[in-house]
Structure 1
Amino acid sequence: MTDATPAALRSAIIGTGGIAHAHAQAIADLAPRIGLAAVVDIDGDRARAFAERFDVPAVYADVDALLAQGTADLVHICTPPQTHVPLAIAALRAGMPALIEKPTALSLAEMDELVAVSRETGVPALTVYQHRFGAGAQRLMRLVREGLLGRPLVATCETLWHRGPEYFDLPWRGRWHVEGGGPTMGHGIHQFDLLLAVLGPWARLTAFAARQQLPTDTEDVSMALVEFDNGALATVVNSLVSPRETSRLRVDFAHATVEVEHLYGYTDADWTFTPAPGHEHLAERWASDPHEPVSSHRAQLAAIVDALQAGAAPGVDVDDGRRTLEFAAATYASAFRGTPVRAGEIAGDDPFLRSMHGGAVPWAPVKPPMEDPR
């Protein structure tokens, strides 16, 4: 006698802009285990065109109408960052798990609201950090858990991208009160989230941030020097002014160097494994088929579907998401205050708890508001 096949999950996407297409394609790739049942967008024409492209049976112009129907097992939030937490909280209170595009929240205080509601309702709130779920990252984290690579010693984490002024023509890009920050929040956060997933808790950091040339309120470059609880030291660079674009993560362990270089997603072919002298046997543990699909929303969504159908906790949950967001907040706090920041230090009435800029942006002619207008 075999177990019955789990019922297919129903997804709904809120916001049908560019990133929603990645979610819809991931859902389509995982059929029939999950299907796209509904989409929501205030732009009716765009929503209908999206629904037609992905064969979605229901289109809503209003989030409340979707939630009242109770037709989703997972709600994908693909709207501008300012709306992420209010929409996620509404989904959780309707009993629907939320999968939220990065950044999860615009501030640690807002993130704490989401954490509280998730715990109160018992409904998962998840963040899209798909680089954790590619085959190479999963293999690396497994070897770290097994202790085979030795102690981590040195790491380099770089998101060196390029965006021209026209990229910021959209009114929500490059604005503290809508996007939360610059490349630290919206671009490099994927790469340093993977760094944190590999190395674990960080202890303290010292950072710099600058607006070098782009027409933004936020930074276009940030850099941090980080010490981890396990003693490892790392540099983290986030840039939108780098013409030769690359995303790179390298970790030197006592027994091997493991590195990946790609742009927006990696395959196994993008990873390099270099064993230390005397540890050549580890290369066999690393070796695998180099034709794995690119790291993408599909891999994380597949893991979420597995967990939801098994009644297990899916990732990346609110606690993990908060740790990554705290790293971003600490980067800004250290850069704008000119002092090191320790993990857990941003608390109480600290202005960097309520906004990433902390009211202390050195290039701002007028201090930005501390709280987002809603």
Structure 2
Amino acid sequence: MSVNGHTLRAAIIGTGGIAHAHADALASLAPRVELVAVTDVDATRAREFAATCGGAAIYDDAGDMLAREKLDIVHICTPPQTHAALAEQVARTGVVALVEKPTALSLAEMDRLVAVEAETGVPILTVFQHRFGAAALELRQLVKSGALGRPLVATCETLWYRADDYFDVPWRGRWAIEGGGPTMGHGIHQFDLMLAILGPWARVSAIAARQARPTDTEDVSLALAEFENGAVATVVNSVVSARETSRLRFDFEWATVEVEHLYGYRDADWRFTAVPGREDLAALWRREPSDELSSHRGQIGAIIDALVSGETPAVGTVEARRTLEFAAATYASAFRGIPVEAGQLSGDDPFVSRMDGGMVPWTPVKEVLV
């Protein structure tokens, strides 16, 4: 079953840690999709990875793989600084690209991908798997229907812990390679889901700090966000928090909906509370409970469904740009000390070309790549 009447043929570029989540998801979705090829700069790692994935073909070079294999989708699981160039390369061969977050390291790179997607008509998708959990999908429908009333207040927290040695990996904690700290690499999943629920954001006021970790980037950021629909939210991203949690809370006119988990949620992690006098609304919530984890499997399955039916899969470049712009606005507001409105970062603004805008307020502890 595929766009061509056969099993979808998938490949993975980059066989490090996150690639295993992609491979596991693909295996669980067989026979609708098959992993047929992998490539990595580390040939030994690629061979070991392929051996655990049913013997996919191994390539030394992504271009060679794209030229020789007939593919439907390519999963890009490389370090962040390579994402944009690889996504463009894949799309220009006519193959759907599924890119791990962040899609790009800057708004300028993201805008190029938006243009490439428009020019080629080939989807360039970003991994934001928490959008595709059953409860989140239902909440989006309830919000769209107006059943819960206006969204009023939201809380979005990604409070994680990463020890100093986590940053021994050369590309972690470096502006020029990772694009940022927990705002770009950790909390982005939670505030992407928040944006998917609440819709377009209007203004951000933020602070960022390097509290404890040996990085060039922040290890904590906090933002106050205002939305076009009038909702307001707090967003906290941290890698210095001993009790780890990922938490989202939405307060609507007639109900509070919240979830607390760590790296993926199930229905049991959600709570629905109606305001007094509107207890009838509880009957609308999760009428068909699911025990499936919000994971790569959910998003990849949705992509397959879309491709088979001839629809455009989520999450394309325009939506992903909105999330990346929220991260850029967080940094711009924090480092400039002023609120930043949606659409304000444009043209030759330094925060368009790089997330730190060239104005990090603390002295780097490593050499910053330019």
Alignment of 1:273 onto 2:275: no
2:33 corresponding residue in structure 1: 34
Q: Which TM-score applies when normalising by structure 2?
A: 0.97
Residues 307-318 of structure 1: pairs in structure 2 closer than 5 A: 307-318=306-317
- Name the residue aligned to 1:225: 224
1:350 aligns with 2:349: yes
> C-alpha distance in 1, partners of 2:129/2:52?
24
8 Å CA contact 2:224, 2:234 repeated in 1: yes
Q: Which residue of 1 aligns with 2:55?
A: 56
Partners of 2:216 and 2:366 within 8 A in 1? no
Tell me the amino acid that sits aligned with residue 345 of structure 1.
Q
- The separation in 2 between residues aligned to 1:258 and 1:68, in whole angstroms, is 48
Structure 2: distance between partners of 1:323 and 1:262 = 24
The offset of 1:276, in angstroms, is 1.1
Answer yes or no: is the 8 Å Cα contact 1:60–1:66 preserved in 2: yes
Q: 2:68 maps to which residue?
A: 69
Distance in 2, Cα, partners of 1:255 & 1:367: 50
Letter in 1 for 2:196: A
- Does the CA-based 8 Å contact 1:76-1:98 persist in structure 2? yes
Partner of 1:20: 19
Aligned residues of 1:268 and 1:289 also touching (Cα < 8 A):
no
**1:327 aligns to what?**
326
Residue 133, structure 1, aligned to residue 132, structure 2: yes
Aligned-partner SS, 1:223: strand
1:88 aligned partner:
87
- Tell me the equivalent position of 1:193: 192
User: Secondary structure at 1:363's aligned position in 2?
Assistant: coil
Query: Which residue in the other structure is 2:157 paired with?
Result: 158
Per the TM alignment, residue 5 of structure 1 is displaced from its structure 2 partner at its CA by 10
Q: Helix, strand or coil: the match of 1:314? A: coil
Q: Distance in 1 between matches of 2:257 and 2:273?
A: 6
Provide the residue aligned with 1:145 in structure 2. Answer: 144
Q: What CA distance in whole angstroms lies between the structure 2 residues aligned with 1:213 and 1:241?
A: 7
Partner residue in 2 for 1:206: 205
CA distance in 1, matches of 2:202, 2:183: 19
Instruction: Give yes or no for contact 1:126–1:317 (8 Å, CA) kept in 2.
Output: yes
Distance 2:280 2:6 in 1: 43
C-alpha distance in structure 2 between counterparts of 1:120 and 1:158, whole Å: 37
Q: How far apart, CA to CA, are the structure 2 residues paired with 1:28 and 1:159?
A: 29
Amino acid in the other structure paired with 2:347: G
1:97-116 superposed matches below 5 A: 97-116=96-115
Q: Aligned-pair distance for 1:287? A: 3.2
Name the count of aligned residue pairs: 368
Render the CA deviation track for 1:44-83: whole Å, top value 9, x for unaligned.
Answer: 1111111110113311010111111142100000000000
Q: Determine the C-alpha separation between the residues in 2 that align with 1:203 and 1:138.
A: 23
Deviation, 1:291, is 4.6
User: How far apart are the structure 2 equivalents of 1:283 and 1:294?
Assistant: 22
Aligned CA RMSD, in angstroms, stands at 1.6
- Structure 1 residues 216 and 310: alpha-carbon distance in aligned structure 2, compared to 1, 3 A threshold: same
Aligned to 2:299: 300
- The question of whether the paired residues in 1 share the 8 Å contact of 2:98 and 2:126 is answered with yes
Shift of 1:7: 2.1
Return closer, same or farther for 1:248/1:26 CA change in 2, 3 Å cut-off. Answer: same
Q: Could you say what secondary structure the match of 1:230 adopts? A: coil
Q: Give the whole-Å Cα distance in 2 for the aligned partners of 1:367 and 1:12.
A: 35
- 5+ unaligned residues in a row in structure 1: which ranges? none
In the TM superposition, residue 138 of structure 1 has moved relative to its aligned partner by 0.4
Please give the alpha-carbon distance, in whole angstroms, between the structure 1 residues aligned to 2:200 and 2:55.
Answer: 41
Equivalent position SS for 2:35? strand
TM-score (norm 1): 0.96
Question: What secondary structure sits across from 1:281 in the alignment?
Answer: helix
Range moving further from structure 2, 313-322 or 50-59? 50-59
Alpha-carbon distance, 1:284 to partner: 1.0
Distance 2:202 2:114 in 1: 22
Deviation at residue 34 of structure 1 after TM alignment? 0.5
Q: Separation in 2 of the partners of 1:87 and 1:257?
A: 41
The question of whether the paired residues in 2 share the 8 Å contact of 1:39 and 1:58 is answered with yes
Contact 2:216 2:365 in 1 (8 A): no
> Per the alignment, in what secondary structure is the counterpart of residue 279 of structure 2?
coil
